[in-house]
Amino acid sequence: MSSETGKILSTDGIPLEESLKQAERKNKIKAFLLVTPLLLFLIITYIIPIADMFSRSIDDKMVTNMLPKTYKAMEQWDGKELPPEEVFEAFYLDYKILVKNKTAGKLQTQLNYEKNGFKSVLKKLARKQKKFEEGNYKEQIMKVHKRWRNVEYWRAIKRRAPAYTYSKYLKGVDMYSNEDGKIVQVAEDRRIHRILWSRTLEVAFFVTLFCFLMAYPIAHLLATLPMKYSNLLMICVLLPFWTSLLVRTASWMILLQQQGIVNDFFVWIGLVTDDSRPEMMYNKTGTYVAMTQILLPFMVLPLYSVMKTISPSLMRAGKSLGATPAVAFFKVYFPLTIPGIGAGCLLVFILAIGYYITPALVGGASGTLISNQIAYHMKSTLDWSFASAMGLMLLTGVLVIYWIYNKLVGVDNIKLG
Amino acid sequence: MALPKYTEPHYRIWHYFYLFVCGCVFFFLIAPLFVIFPLSFNAEEFLVFTDGMKRLDPDAFSTRWYKDMVYGTKNPWGLAAKNSFIIAIFATIGSIILGTLAALGLSSRHMPYKGLIMATLISPMIVPLIISGVAIFFFMAKVGLAATHLGIILAHIILGTPFVVITVTATLSGFDHSITRAASSLGSNPFNTFMKITLPLILPGVISGGLFAFVTSFDEVVVVLFLAGLDNTTIPIQMWTGLREQLSPTILAVATCLIVLSVLILVTAELLRRRSERLRGINR
């Protein structure tokens, strides 16, 4: 309809175009309103708290708030030589309040992180400051301990002035910023986090590989068998899938213990002697075996759903054109299953990289992963900002993988069961 | 899968090797679950097969660990089971309501920013549990819901909704929207249309999503470990504690009950899946 003939009007006299637009807008709002309750709920209880972990991980206001006057006075100080009298006075006044409120211990611990040996110096000051006379605090403080004459200690205090720090992230990769503000690695024998990161990646990689190698043949079998047999065999995949994670871990703990059935079997077939039963639990072996079995269904199901759609006539066509079964498999069948492989591998990898329960129970000391370290700092050391920093580093890794997954398969193609 | 008569010998060998490998993998998947069952009837306190059990001596078997599970003094399982069921049921109801509504909105072709919203809604499934646990703990502690049933229920709703969203969206993908339009043109109000037309058709998806949500909540340890106080202990928490401290056969009795429960859930889920496929006219 051209514009010269006039606009088409709907029954209530509004131009049709506008009326349609209105209806469209109404539908949009309706659809959005349906999603809103869940979206709001998740944003408030989940998304914002995760974002909040970031502010917690860089938060370093504790020391800043404990020494307000000192940091005010230090603004003028260039850090080259010993600070002037005002800084000493401000520090004395701040510290006096801390001692009075019995919170000086926290400052001692925090500053000791910054410079070793700070704790004893501060403790001594806490005892002596009661007898301080008014005026000339610089002299009096320096008399308490000779280290107060060392400008390094004052620089250490100044380094904690900013309310935000990225030091927790550096600690997560075994680095720290030293006295000159340079970023350096910690001593070689103390690089525990890097070992954990690489072990986590290694375990996730190999578990994914094992799962793939084991899932491919059985997914193929399930997809090619007649329904009545495959349904029965599918139970072998689905029953573990629906069974409690702890139950499955418990069964592995029974199987893998030193007097357990697997070891009995090894002794029986003569692989090991009765008195040299290998330790298969509380180490990496246990983590590998149990995690592979637990995550295997997550690999089988996407592979199966892709293989189910591949027509068997494609393989027959390949063979009839002269390909050997092996060539037909690698040139025809395998490329068609790649979407399933991608989905399964990324799903298993994402799940494995953040695994917590199974490594904690069967992993022992050499089989624990980065998640266990996060839980340890959450529950034992109570260094929540460090736990948050490690969690966010892990999350970043997972989101990168998730993004790849989305590009390759699309998140709305996830199939369950 | 019988081989044709003309198969060459080396392919025949290859084929049997392939079947053997598949058999091993199936065994690896399912066998561990069956270890628990006989050992939970062990008369002894050890977690190994005693000689009596190997001889199938009836005296070597007993139901004492089941009695211990139910009647045992200072046994935490009763409270844990009660808590687990309360939390899982409320979490499932919450997940179903929020998830189904969201799925209905997401399946509408008018929905703006579909990809972004879908990614947000299913993010609790992708983010490692330990991170979800930390974040949810910080939130619940801030609003004073840590160590309460409500806090754990809300946490499990967060973890359970993605499953409902996914299964219901999948059911809705084959949904013919002209049916609901027909209903409204015949004078039905939106609520009635939903209850009488849409809901019965998507019910298999809703229930199977609900089952996922239920299992997720019932089996969840990581988040509860951060959130639970002494009064909110659940079955997984008790199993976790038991497995860390001393592996007693009572845990195996509980585990056997859990396996029976998962068989029931598996059967329900499988029946629902078939019904849903039949309803949507997908025949294989």
pLDDT per residue as tens digits for the range A168-198: 888 888 888 776 667 888 887 778 888 899 9
Q: How many CB atoms lie within 10 A of CB A272?
A: 12
DSSP structure string for A226-249:
-HHHHHHHHHHHHHHHHS-HHHHH
Q: What pLDDT sits at residue A403? A: 83
Q: Is A310 on the interface with B (CB under 8 A)?
A: no
Q: What pLDDT sits at residue A49? A: 93
Q: What pLDDT sits at residue B55? A: 73
Of B199, B219, B221, B210, residue with least CA distance to B262: B219
Residue A83: φ, ψ to 5°: -65, 160
Q: Is B118 on the interface with A (CB under 8 A)?
A: yes
Nearest CA-CA distance, residue B179 and chain A, Å: 17
Q: What pLDDT sits at residue A44? A: 94
Q: Is A257 on the interface with B (CB under 8 A)?
A: yes
Mean pLDDT of B165-184: 86
Q: H or E segment at A256?
A: helix A245-256
Proportion of chain B above pLDDT 70, given as a percent:
96
pLDDT digits (tens, 9 = 90+) for B57-93: 777 777 777 887 777 766 788 888 899 999 999 999 9
Question: Percentage helix, strand, coil, to 5, in chain A?
Answer: 75, 0, 25
Domain definitions of chain B by residue range: 80-245
Find the range with the poorest average confidence among A49-63, A156-170, A332-346: A156-170
Mean pLDDT of A84-95: 87
Cβ(B282)–Cβ(B174) below 8 Å? yes
How does strand A175-177 pair with strand A183-185? antiparallel
Q: What pLDDT sits at residue A133? A: 81
Q: Residue B111's pLDDT band (boundaries 50, 70, 90)?
A: confident
The answer to whether the CB atoms of B135 and A50 lie below 8 A apart is: yes
Q: What is the greatest pairwise CA distance in chain B?
A: 74
Q: Is the pLDDT of residue A16 over 90?
A: no
Q: Is the pLDDT of residue B131 over 90?
A: yes
Partner-chain residue, chosen from B32, B102, B244, that has the shortest CB–CB distance to A38: B102
Residues of A in contact with B208 (CB under 8 A): 417
CATH code that applies to domain A192-413: 1.10.3720.10
Cβ(A175)–Cβ(A188) below 8 Å? no
Q: Is A390 on the interface with B (CB under 8 A)?
A: no
Per-residue b or e along A350-385, where b marks 16 or more CB atoms closer than 10 Å to that residue's CB: bbbbbbbbbbbbbbbeebbbbbbbbbebbeeeeebb
Q: Is A203 on the interface with B (CB under 8 A)?
A: no
pLDDT digits (tens, 9 = 90+) for B256-265: 999 998 888 8
Q: Is B272 on the interface with A (CB under 8 A)?
A: no
Contacts of B60 (CB under 8 A, 6+ apart): B42, B43, B44, B50, B51, B52, B53
Report the first-to-last Cα separation within chain A, whole angstroms.
51
Partner-chain residue, chosen from B1, B35, B138, that has the shortest CB–CB distance to A49: B138
Residues of A in contact with B269 (CB under 8 A): 238, 242, 417
Domain definitions of chain A by residue range: 14-46, 62-163, 192-413
User: How far apart are the C-alpha atoms of A153 and B204, rounded to whole Å?
Assistant: 68
Give the per-residue SS3 of A267-310. HHCCCCCHHHCCCCCCCHHHHHHHHHHHHHHHHHHHHHHHHCCC
Joined tokens for residue A238: 């689905």
The answer to whether the CB atoms of B128 and A354 lie below 8 A apart is: yes
Q: Is A50 on the interface with B (CB under 8 A)?
A: yes
Q: Is the pLDDT of residue B179 over 50?
A: yes
129-188 in chain B: CB under 8 A from chain A = 129-139, 154-155, 157-158, 161, 163, 165-167, 169-170
User: How far apart are the C-alpha atoms of A276 and A280, rounded to whole Å?
Assistant: 12
Q: Give the three-class secondary structure for A80.
A: coil
Mean pLDDT of A150-174: 83
Find the range with the poorest average confidence among A19-28, A182-191, A297-306: A182-191
What does the mean pLDDT of chain B come to?
86
pLDDT digits (tens, 9 = 90+) for A373-392: 899 888 888 888 889 999 99
State which residue of chain A sits closest to B95, comparing Cα positions. Answer: A38
Q: Residue B162's pLDDT band (boundaries 50, 70, 90)?
A: very high
Q: Say which residue the tokens 């409500």 belong to.
A: B150
Q: What pLDDT sits at residue A192? A: 85
Q: What pLDDT sits at residue B25? A: 94
Nearest CA-CA distance, residue B73 and chain A, Å: 23
Mean pLDDT of A277-304: 89
CA angle A337, A342, A343 (to 5 degrees): 100
The answer to whether the CB atoms of A243 and B262 lie below 8 A apart is: yes
The answer to whether the CB atoms of B108 and A47 lie below 8 A apart is: no
Mean pLDDT of A346-358: 89
CATH code that applies to domain B80-245: 1.10.3720.10
Q: Is the pLDDT of residue B284 over 50?
A: no
Q: What pLDDT sits at residue A5? A: 53
Contacts of A323 (CB under 8 A, 6+ apart): A331, A332
Q: Is A53 on the interface with B (CB under 8 A)?
A: yes
Q: In Å, how far from its chain's centre is CA A215? A: 26
Q: What pLDDT sits at residue A2? A: 45
Q: Is A243 on the interface with B (CB under 8 A)?
A: yes
User: How far apart are the C-alpha atoms of A90 and A82, rounded to whole Å?
Assistant: 14
User: How many CB pairs below 8 A link A and B?
Assistant: 261
Q: Is the pLDDT of residue A1 over 50?
A: no
pTM above 0.90, yes or no: no
Find the range with the poorest average confidence among A138-147, B18-27, B131-140, B178-187: A138-147
Q: What pLDDT sits at residue B135? A: 94
